[in-house]
Structure 1
Amino acid sequence: MKAGVHARGTKQQARQNRFSELKDELKSQPQLQKDMEINIAKTRLGNDVFNIKNANLKIDKKNILKDFSYLINKKERIGIVGKNGAGKTSFLNILDERIALDSGILEVGQTVRIGFYTQYSENMDPDKRVISYLESIGQNIQTEDGRKLTASSLLETFQFDNRLQGAFIRELSGGEKRRLFLLSILIRQPNVLLLDEPTNNLDIKTLTILEDYILSFSGTVIAVSHDRYFLDKISQKLLVFEGNGIITEYLGDYSTYLENSQEQKINNEKKSAVNAKKKNDDSKRKLTYAEKIELNELEPKIEKLDNRISELNELLLDESADYQDLMGYQAELEQKTKESEELMDRWAELSELGE
């Protein structure tokens, strides 16, 4: 909205009004209950977490790390982004010492206790009942305020009612298995969290619980994610995997990085040059008859798209929606938003000619 106002003074007032209405709707959304939180005590973490020195690694003849050195300290929250196949997941596996370096040094602090949320639920016996599985990992878990929590009460926090607690793991849905896997990691009281695409297959309530937990977490968090909202909320800086072993640090949130990325700057410069040339050419003429018809037809098209965008935003706020449906709504929202912006660009262009 801010970018549009700066770029085009002709943005329709109706669209600005709808934006304000959406903000009011978001403010009025019901908040999660106070008892829906993770209140597990954390283990002490020293200042030294990970120290990577002159690290090199190739997988399938592809450079993952190339003479890479980096120091990760206590209380840092780092988002990892970049191209597919550039080595983001491999980097987490290196930190967890599942993958050895070809050369270089990885120093892990003596007090480090890693909780690794992988993309696949590991070591979950499908023939074990949910409550038995969790109790085998930990019972009477200590909270931050010194109380004791049972495995059952923690399962309730993660939306496992009595029926689900007695179910076999094989009977759980994909999302329920992911929730159980996440809880199994957190009750081990890690002081370093490695998260690989944590927003996949977790419902909105569980994600909110996880986000709040991370924000109050006194340890170190390193998260690979494509989810801009999640990274904006939990990360303080980014490691950007650009491919061929090139990794750069960005101090700031993911949204700002995307806005300021070199690729986007180049695209904006190209677009500005093209628009400037077109505007210069257009300033010499008036609207043709066909363009007048096109201009009259644009506003109803934009209105229809914006109505659908509003519907999709409401659907995305439905906490009971299925994850796959949410992904579909999000994809359609991005497509409709792109179409709307393209039509708005054309509307602004023709409106200037008609003045």
Structure 2
Amino acid sequence: MSMPSFNVGILGATGAVGQTFIRLLEDHPWFTVTALAASERSAGKPYREAANWLSGKRMPDAVAELEVTTTEPSEMDCDFVFSGLSSSVAGDVEKAFAEAGFPVISNAKNYRMQEDVPLLIPEVNADHARLVENQDWGSDGFIVTNPNCSTVGLVCALRPLVDAFGVEKVQVTMLQALSGAGYPGVSSLDALGNVIPYIGGEEDKLATEPRKILGQLENGEIRPADMVVSAQCNRVPVRQGHLACISVACTEPVNVTDVTDALESYRSPLTSEDLPSVPDAFLRVMDEVDAPQPLRHVKNGNGMTVSIGRIQECPVNHVKFVALSHNTIRGAAGGAVLNAELLARDGYLSA
């Protein structure tokens, strides 16, 4: 589809999420990175000097010589910003940009549960984008968020079941990759040959975020989904990919065949003709007895496909299965880019 070119700024550009934004936006058909912001110690330097580049691929030439600025709205010459900021600073910075008239597409947790802020996965709840019309920052600015990286794979897998049968109870055990802790992340002496059965705040997010995302937009407000989620989160020695072991009780009795058919037949309402970052397969149901695996399957759909396998009857609930999602692409920067594409298509962004 025809779309104007947007100039894009990145807040937290030198961090792991900021760098993923830069990699994903290289050669994007709609978005061009024109402004980079980070901490004061990086400000004034060309990006090639300011960033400890983590990717095995080269730094894009188009950003290497851009001068890094501070995270002040007056410093950023762009149409909207992506935020890869730490939650410790994101709240005040994102608020300042929204008040200055910038649309803010955020990966941080600070505004996710605010009533008038969309918590968005375009294939799951695109209609929630309309919540930005309720925001009033004293300007044309607004904030849109994507979910926690562990929430994303779970919610994508639940969407077809909610639609087909309704879901009452979910038990999920998350096996979360090291990259989810950012850079430098978890100490090697803690990570290697070990599993850490605690990740601060993750279980609370999994208990609350899915209910907002899968809720209904009614009269400008979200009515949360009527389900309960019990979550346990573990850090495991895997580089990329969050694996969710999920057990579900639906509102009506279902079996393995019912659930498999619902997952295999589900089609995203969006295609790559609508938004460039939409994968060919939103969900991929895998038949292999040992799939999905992070090492082999995390890059399905260029990291935007959620892979599902091991669908079985559950003696506690109705069914159980495993879902794999790429935590730094689908669960972070890639999801935010997709959100921006949806907002651009629907006229919420101006070039």
Q: TM-score, normalised by structure 2?
A: 0.29
Larger helix proportion, structure 1 or 2? 1
Higher gyration radius (CA): 1
Q: TM-score, normalised by structure 1?
A: 0.28
Indicate the structure whose relative CO is greater, using CA pairs within 8 Å and at least 6 residues apart.
1
